[in-house]
Structure 1
């Protein structure tokens, strides 16, 4: 038996056309209402970001802070504490100390009449003269892994950790009673145990031995032929004993206190524009933006990405996402905040651009490497998207109705 659709439900019948249009309109409206909170966007809203302190990231609570003078001063103080002079201190120059791998030149002299070294003079004519002091021809030798060298008529001498002057006295004491008024001169020909490594964007990477003069950071860069890039775009990283700090090269040049004295084993790395931040949201350009080692303020960062979009951005929603050093936060906050695996605290800094002092704060606040700069959409932008969707759907319904009539 064939089932027939009642004529009044078909589009050809006036009543069926009206019902069909109402059904289509209701279906589209229901779809719009069910999806009105799912309009496209470039990220969370201002309210969602401000509520982030109730959520978690990497098992650590997120701190949301407004950028004011107190916050900026704490961040600046924490940055100052990471400078070379504060991290490594002032190391006074020290005397040359012999270590394993160093090459020594040892000369031993004996006053006339020579007893031990009477026939070892280089010049036979001097050896024939009993009134001329004679010297022993001792080849240069490398300090062994055990820290010793060998001296004729003295034997093995422990020289590691001693100065050349101390080794001279040991040799003279060992020759006492054997040689006639012995004298010794010890010279470090190659000092590999007291050296620093210079690499990166320099003319020639090398190892530079340290002397008792007390070479400084800029001495090492000069010894490597200088940097290959402009000074204003260079940063210098100094690693010593498990600690690492990085500073702009132009700051080291401008502030003599940051030109610290080097220590054996230091690694100096010259870096060219190693920093970048990521810009997202309602800005003119979403991108990863590199910046110079000399630093970048928040105001400069906004300028480099073309500023906020007038048609989308919320003036209340400029945020900087950062994994912050605990020293940059108030003690009561740092004491209770949970931290990431590397000991940092997730922080969101908020700048309210509707405030008249916001641009001053933006000039004082410094962007750091790997910061995320995010600008949220204005609430009316989402409402405008809703109106556009409703408008497009309404015209679609009218078009369907006209086609059915």
Structure 2
């Protein structure tokens, strides 16, 4: 009667899971985890930047761009009737001159000059040439104030979102991120995505900091977005917690995944029945199963047995991937205890009922 009613449990038993194997007319391949299996399945997202990003050289820190703001000062070698200033004024300061959308600026008596693409020194010489026929030996200085011309945008989980100018100290991705205050999330799960025109590349933040060769040069208009790793796995069965669990680092082993959800339930877990369920890609499935005729994704059930001499090592080396389901079965004696409890509870209830009836008579 008890068995027909069914007993509460956290999921299928180990025997029921194994019954779904292809060898038993099921639709999943059951594979015990070995070092060879761990190596074949150790695939994680690989991020990086294309050659177009990596081979772009550092932008000249003093190259003028459309939208930049300039400061121009002209010293004239005359006391009376200067060309630009008032009588007795030898130095004329022209501040906040913005380079227009076509890359030009206007200087009185020098006319409209092409500024975009030039350095301040090149523009200084151009202005000097235009003025030297109108005032004796003009001395010109040009300074570039970072404006809207050479800027990048930073958004997402950054320390401070905004638009930042590309200046001498911030011509690379890492230095620009530092200027924006770093990231507002755990750096271990932070991904940096850069969009330049129609091209996009992304990289793990910790890899960017660990390998200077990955630190790309920035270009005006780059869009930098800080994203949090969105990968997760599902934990079910006799664990410390059953939920959708986000990754806490770039890689996560089965042992780390078990620890993340509070470990195995000491009162009910079967350490010989730990399963990782996954839709495995064709290439990896062929290598794991040694079958060259497999086509398309394959349902795989990877089995971990922590009671084996190397069981903990296998769990440490086997990598969890995005979308995996980690399932821990209950130990057989747990179901026996539930059955026994249900039987004794039913018997006790019947005896109490009989005693009540007898005392009533």
Q: Does 1:101 align with 2:55?
A: no
Distance 1:330 1:123, change over 3 A: farther
Mapped partners of 2:139, 2:19: distance in 1: 79
Contact 1:318 1:373 in 2 (8 A): yes
Gap regions ≥5 residues in structure 1 = 1-27, 55-60, 127-134, 339-344
Change (3 A) 1:206 1:70: farther
Report the Cα distance in structure 1 between the residues aligned to 2:151 and 2:131, rounded to whole angstroms: 32
Quickly say closer, same or farther: Cα 1:206–1:385, change in 2 above 3 A: same
Matched, 1:356 2:309: yes
State the SS of the aligned residue for 1:140.
strand
Question: In structure 1, how many angstroms separate the alpha carbons of the residues matched to 2:144 and 2:253?
Answer: 49
Q: Which residue of 2 aligns with 1:286?
A: 242
Deviates more, 1:187-196 or 1:376-385: 376-385
Displacement of 1:330 in angstroms is 6.2
The CA deviation string for residues 112-134 of structure 1, in whole angstroms up to 9 with x for no partner, is: 79xxx9522578265xxxxxxxx
- 1:240 is matched with 194
SS at match of 1:267: strand
Which residue of the partner structure matches residue 291 of structure 2? none
Write out per-residue CA displacement over residues 138-190 of structure 1, whole angstroms, 9 at most, x where no aligned residue.
Answer: 44322333443334455444544555566557656777977878886543212
Give the total of aligned pairs.
343
The residue aligned with 2:263 is 307
Deviation at 1:240, TM superposition (A): 0.9
> Matches of 1:105 and 1:352 in 2, distance apart?
72
Matching residue of 2:254: 298
Q: 1:48 to 1:75 in 2, by over 3 A?
A: closer
Distance 1:73 1:260, change over 3 A: farther
Mapped partners of 2:131, 2:75: distance in 1: 11
Q: Of the candidates 143, 150, 153, which is equivalent to residue 99 of structure 2?
A: 143
* 8 Å contact from structure 1 (residues 275, 292) kept in 2: no
How far has the Cα of 1:197 moved from its partner? Answer: 4.1
Question: Residue 93 of structure 1: CA displacement?
Answer: 1.1
Q: Would the alpha carbon gap of residues 215 and 52 (structure 1) be closer, same or farther in structure 2, given more than 3 Å must change? A: farther
Q: Is the Cα–Cα contact under 8 Å of residues 314 and 378 in structure 1 kept in the other structure?
A: yes
Give the SS at the match of 1:285: coil
Report the TM-score when normalising by structure 2. Answer: 0.65
Distance in 2 (CA, whole Å) between partners of 1:327 and 1:152 is 71
How far did 1:266 drift?
3.9
How far is 1:45 from its partner? 4.2
Q: Does 1:119 align with 2:72?
A: no
Equivalent residue of 1:376, what SS? strand
Please state how far the C-alpha of 1:235 moved relative to its aligned partner. 4.5
> Could you tell me how far apart the structure 2 residues matched to 1:182 and 1:381 are?
95
1-structure distance, mates of 2:350, 2:328 = 36
- Asked if 1 retains the 8 angstrom alpha-carbon contact of 2:72 and 2:143, the reply is yes
Structure 1 CA distance, aligned partners of 2:323 and 2:295?
25
- 3-state DSSP of counterpart to 2:256: helix
Residue pair 2:154, 2:161 contacting (<8 A) in 1 also: yes
Tell me what 1:190 maps to. Answer: 146
For the structure 1 residues 179 and 362, does the alpha-carbon distance in structure 2 shift closer, same or farther, using more than 3 Å as the test? farther
Distance 1:381 1:252, change over 3 A: same
Q: Is the CA contact 1:78–1:328 (under 8 Å) kept in the aligned structure 2?
A: no
SS at match of 1:269: strand
Query: What is the Cα-based RMSD across aligned positions, in Å?
Result: 5.2
Q: Cα gap change, 1:94/1:248 in structure 2, threshold over 3 Å: closer, same or farther? A: closer
Q: CA deviation at 1:210?
A: 1.8
Is there any run of 5+ residues in structure 2 with no aligned partner, and where? 289-293
1:269 paired residue number? 226
Q: Which residue of 2 aligns with 1:319?
A: 275
CA separation of 1:208/1:371 partners in 2, compared to 1, >3 Å: closer, same or farther? farther
DSSP-derived class of the 2:171 partner: coil
Worse-superposed segment, 377-386 or 166-175: 166-175
